[in-house]
Structure 1
Amino acid sequence: MPAQIATAATDPARIVAFQGAPGAYSHLACREALPDMVPLPCATFEDAFAAVREGRAACGLIPIENSTAGRVADIHQLLPEGGLYITAEHFLRVRHQLLAPKAASLKIIKRVYSHVQALSQCRRVIKDLGIEPIVSTDTAGSAKDVAERNNPEEAAIASSIAGELYGLQVLRGDIEDNHTNTTRFIKLERQRRDPDPQQGNSLTAIMFRVRSVPAALYKALGGFATNGVNVVKLESYLSEGFQVAEFYAEIEGHPAQRNVDLALQELEYFSRSLKVIGVFTAHPFRSAR
């Protein structure tokens, strides 16, 4: 299947924005999660948010956390003011490929280029092959550069889609040390698209700031315990010059359910601000673990 890229003539209703160069893992996630959409590469996360907000793309697919590297911090800063809503999630198993020009082989490559995290996640193969790791800005850019130089002594660590785009062969596939390495993506749209509360398996994403009083967070979260609502994710970060603690949370359930509604009411009482930034169906990956 060709690795399509959106152009100016592509209908915006068919476009999904992602951050990164063509061939990035986010590009691969778009193809997996939204195969009928045409990916639009964006230089920054801000650009991807803007493409959706301004109607140049119907949605965006953005990484929010990785099982090895942790959370993608920039996203939590963009979500409160981004004006977009989470409408779905997708989990991508990160499979690193050792890519090289057609004339290369495992016996003659001497150097491998990639993002620092990709190199660190493939230490075992790099050591076994005795090749020099060289840090580059990103995985897809490394593949593009290796293809352009066409030096059989050079290789790149990148996604399978990068190999397709830049005409590189896979010298060795799935070379990551940790074969459970997974990145979680969120789909962002301009409008909330709450699933049917009767279907179950809903998640609600919220952002809130607690009041500056003793035990405010303890009291705010107490409503989830008394109403039987499971908090599956809670992260904090400082804003307003390190003066205000802001929180991102995901809870099981739908705001239309009475226990969730009551828990949110109690949270709002103890908070300076509260915003629901998405209600979506849990991905099957969660139940498969």
Structure 2
Amino acid sequence: MNLAEIRRRIDKVDRELLVLLQERMGLAIRAKKFKRAVVDTQREETVLARAERMHLDLVQGSFARQVLRTIIEESRRLQQEDRPLVAFQGESGAYGEVACRRLVPGGAFIPCMEFVDVFEGVRQGHLDLGVVPVENSLEGAVTQVNDLLTTTDLHVIGEARVAVNHCLLAAEPLDAEDIRVVYSHPQALAQCQRFLLQHRMEARPYYDTAGAAKMLARENPRAAAAIASELCAELYDLHVVARGIADGATNSTRFLLLDRAPFQGQGNKTSIIFATAHEAGRLFNVLRLFAEAQINLTRIASMPLRSDPGNYSFFLDFEGGMHDAHVARVFEQLAGMGIVVKCLGSYPADPNGQ
């Protein structure tokens, strides 16, 4: 092993330490929801004493205690900031976090394994807000999220449409010709197929785009790269080999911001869910009411009812808020038709597009 290889391994360990430190800080912020006070001296002393008892050959107990004390002090500072905890599905750096940063600047962004973890965390009050994708311009509706929206008591209080700009990331400064293997989510790999074929790169599926970037930072496999967001490059100290490598130029995902309470204001966009009997003309009669009231529909989607597969739930987004008189009249007419409507919320529309 030469000096260059030793330094390469040191860089790898440093990146891994910082990634783990980010995870620890996130857990520390979440712990505040379950504590009566920020400072818990008994718990802190237990953690510090355990570090001193570890007989590591090259790390003295006093040094381990000093390092952990510094980490605990920083955790305490973060808890005292009282930032809102904003949950998203995926690893840090996922496009869900990009949406979080747009919707809640200054929040503490908490990664969750599954969409249901986002919904349940907000519902139970362990997390303050949730950000979930509802539709993608190429892939269509996000079925699991739409299913959860039908049963949730949470309210939609905002939206953001995020451009999906796939980047090729590497742990070291490399040219595209030096890369042999590329890791990412299967959908991202499929969306960048032309670029991969052109550069003769082997595509290897991974569970998440940001997860692939995180793995690259921690393991630094040779001649390897990941396809992920540019935010991942910032979070994991990765090099951007190429930007905008997707086959299609227009790829975006619309995200919704969820809260336990409705939006406190007069939103100019509304999301609803309703169901109709599986009869000819029933859906047309509902949509006709919106057309006659000159209400612009921005989204129509359907999904089979789990309780009754022969019938469907319909997801409708439209311009205007529940406080608008012409919108209220439409809802009165729907009630007269026996249509049960679930209003997810009225909220500010994303000015960057529908």
Question: TM-score, normalising length from structure 2?
Answer: 0.74
Q: Which residue of 1 aligns with 2:257?
A: 187
Aligned counterpart for 1:18 among listed residues 88, 103, 125: 88
Q: What one-letter code is carried by the residue in structure 2 that aligns with 1:134?
A: R
Identity %: 34
Q: Specify the structure having the higher radius of gyration (Cα).
A: 2
Check whether the contact 1:49–1:60 (CA below 8 A) recurs between aligned residues: yes
For residues 13-62 of structure 1, give each alpha carbon's deviation from its aligned partner in whole angstroms, at most 9, with x where no partner exists: 61101011122111222123322101011111100001111112211111
Aligned partner of 2:291: which letter? Answer: A
Question: Residue 228 of structure 1 corresponds to which residue in structure 2?
Answer: 294
Question: Do the aligned partners of 2:90 and 2:211 also contact (CA within 8 Å) in 1?
Answer: no
The structure that is helix-richer by fraction is 2
Is the Cα–Cα contact under 8 Å of residues 15 and 37 in structure 1 kept in the other structure?
Answer: yes
**1:126-174 C-alpha deviation (Å, 9 max, x unpaired):** 1221111111211111112223332231111011222233332111122
Shift in Å, 1:74: 0.8
Among candidates 265, 268, 271, match of residue 205 of structure 1:
271
SS at match of 1:165: helix
CA distance in 2, matches of 1:116, 1:215: 40
Give how far 1:265 is off. 1.5
The equivalent position to 2:107 in structure 1, one of 37, 41, 49, is 37
Residue 136 (structure 1) aligns with: 206
User: For 1:256, which of 323, 334, 343 is the aligned residue?
Assistant: 323
Corresponding residue for 2:166?
96
Deviates more, 1:171-180 or 1:182-191: 171-180
RMSD over aligned CA atoms reads: 2.1
For normalisation by structure 1, the TM-score amounts to 0.90
Aligned residues: 282
Structure 2: give runs of 5+ residues left out of the alignment: 1-17, 34-82
Q: How does 1:1-289 map to 2 (within 5 A)?
A: 6-10=26-30, 14-102=84-172, 104-196=174-266, 202-239=268-305, 240-286=307-353
Distance in 2 between the 1:152 and 1:171 partners? 15
Q: Distance between the aligned counterparts of 1:74 and 1:165, measured in 2?
A: 28
Q: Is the 8 A contact 1:254 1:279 kept in 2?
A: yes
The answer for the alignment partner of 2:10 in structure 1 is none
Which segment drifts farther, 226-235 or 83-92? Answer: 226-235
